[in-house]
Amino acid sequence: MVTKVMQIILSPVLALIVGVFFLGLARKIIARIHWRYGPPLIQPVIDMIRLFYQKSVSHGSMFDLGLILSLAGSIVVVLFLPFGQICPLSGSGGLLVILYIMLLAPLGMALSGGQGANPNISIGISRKLILSLGYEVPLLLVLLAVMTHYKTISIIEVVSSQQSTGWALISFPLFLSGLSYFLILPAILGLRPFDVSSAPQEISSGPMVEYGGKYLALATIEHAFVLFISIALFVNLFLGGAANPVIFFVKMLVVFVLGLCINAVFPRFRIEQAIKYLWKWPTLLAFVGLIITLAIRS
C-alpha cells in the first residue's frame, strides 16, 4: 500500500522532470542544428517560474477549468503508463483506457481555447483536430496490431511478454507497426513539420494566443507531459519497457533525439499535405503490419 502511494506520487514527478528536460534539450539540439548556440538546458524551468508570477487574463470559468482538466488529464495518463517497473494504476482497463484518457488533455485545451473567443484559437483547434484524425488512423492500426499480436488489452502484459520474447520492434510483423509509430511520432507531439496547429507565424501560436502568465506556464507543463506520454508509450509497446526507470529514460532519450534530428530540418507542412502524408506511408505500413499479424494469429 505504501509503495503504491509512493509510486502514485513519484511517477508524475519523474514524468514532469523528464518532460521538462526534453523541452530544454529540444531547444538546444534544434539550435545546434541551425548553427546557433541556444538557451541553457534549464531555460524552460526559469521561464515557467517567471510566468507563474506574471499578470494574466481570463475569459471565463471554462477558460480556466479547461486548462486544469487538460493538465489533470495528462497526469492521469502518466499514472496508467508503466515507467520502468513503476506502474501504479495500469491494471484498471489497459491500453483502451489509456487511449481514451489521452483524450482529456486535447479536449480540455479545446474547451478552454473555445471560450478564449479568438479566431486564431479556433483555427488552431480545428487544425489540431484534423491532424489528430490524420495520425489516429495509423496509431489505432498500430495499437490494434500490438493488442492482436499479444492477445491482450493490458499494457503490463505487452511489456512483460516482450521481456521474455524480445523487443516488438525487432520481431517480424510488428516492426512494420513500430516503424509506422516512429513516423507519426512528430505529428503526435506537434513538432515540425507537423506544427500546423501552433504555427506562430500564421495564427499567432493558435490555441496559446490568449494564454499569458500562469496559463502559459501550465500549458507548457502540459506539453512536457504529452512529450513524456507519447515517447513512453512507444518505449513500452515496442522497446520492451525497462526493468528500472534509468534504462527506461535512456531508451526514451534515444527515441526523442533520433526523432528530433530527423524532423528539425523540415519546413512546415500545410494541413492537407500533413494528412496526405499521414494517410499514405504510415497508414500503409501499419495496415500491412496488422494484416500480417492477423494472418499469423489465425
Q: Which residues within the stretch 117-136 sit at the binding site for another protein (CB under 8 A)?
A: 117-120, 122-123, 125-127, 129-130, 132-133, 136
Q: Which of 154, 162, 177, 236 binds another protein (CB under 8 A)?
A: 154
Which of 182/215 has CB closer to another protein? 215
Helices 43-52 + 214-238 axis angle, to 10: 140
Size of the chain, expressed as the number of residues it contains: 298
Spatial separation of the C-alpha atoms in residues 180 and 284, rounded to whole Å: 8
The Cα-based distances of 249 to 180, 239, 277 in angstroms read 22, 12, 30
Q: How far is the CB of 86 from another protein (least distance, A)?
A: 15
User: Per CB under 8 A, which of residues 196..255 are in contact with another protein?
Assistant: 204, 209-210, 213-215, 217-218
- Which part of the chain contacts another protein (CB under 8 A), choosing from 86-94, 162-170, 178-186, 244-252? 86-94
Which of 47/136 has CB closer to another protein? 136
Question: Cell 503490419 maps to which residue?
Answer: 289
Closest CA to 225 of 22, 41, 6: 22
Question: Cell 541556444 maps to which residue?
Answer: 38
Q: How far is the CB of 53 from another protein (least distance, A)?
A: 5
Which residues are registered as beta bridge partners of 86?
83
On the CB side of 113, CA atoms within 13 Å amount to 26
C-alpha cell at 235: 518505449
- Which part of the chain contacts another protein (CB under 8 A), choosing from 18-26, 74-82, 169-177, 181-189? 74-82
Q: Is residue 6 a contact residue for another protein (CB under 8 A)?
A: no
User: Per CB under 8 A, which of residues 259..288 are in contact with another protein?
Assistant: 270-272, 275
Which of 80/182 has CB closer to another protein? 80
Q: Which of 18, 30, 87, 104 binds another protein (CB under 8 A)?
A: 104
Q: Is residue 161 a contact residue for another protein (CB under 8 A)?
A: no
- Which part of the chain contacts another protein (CB under 8 A), choosing from 143-151, 165-173, 180-188, 256-264? 143-151
Residue 162's SS3 state is helix
- Give the interface size with another protein as a residue count (CB under 8 A): 81
Q: How far is the CB of 220 from another protein (least distance, A)?
A: 13
Spatial separation of the C-alpha atoms in residues 48 and 21, rounded to whole Å: 13
Which of 30/115 has CB closer to another protein? 115
Q: Which of 16, 64, 202, 268 binds another protein (CB under 8 A)?
A: 64
- Which part of the chain contacts another protein (CB under 8 A), choosing from 95-103, 171-179, 237-245, 249-257? 95-103
Question: Cell 493490458 maps to which residue?
Answer: 154
Spatial separation of the C-alpha atoms in residues 201 and 219, rounded to whole Å: 19
User: Is residue 212 a contact partner of residue 116, using CB atoms and an 8 Å limit?
Assistant: no
Q: Is residue 168 a contact residue for another protein (CB under 8 A)?
A: no
Q: How far is the CB of 35 from another protein (least distance, A)?
A: 30
Spatial separation of the C-alpha atoms in residues 182 and 79, rounded to whole Å: 23
Question: Cell 509503495 maps to which residue?
Answer: 3
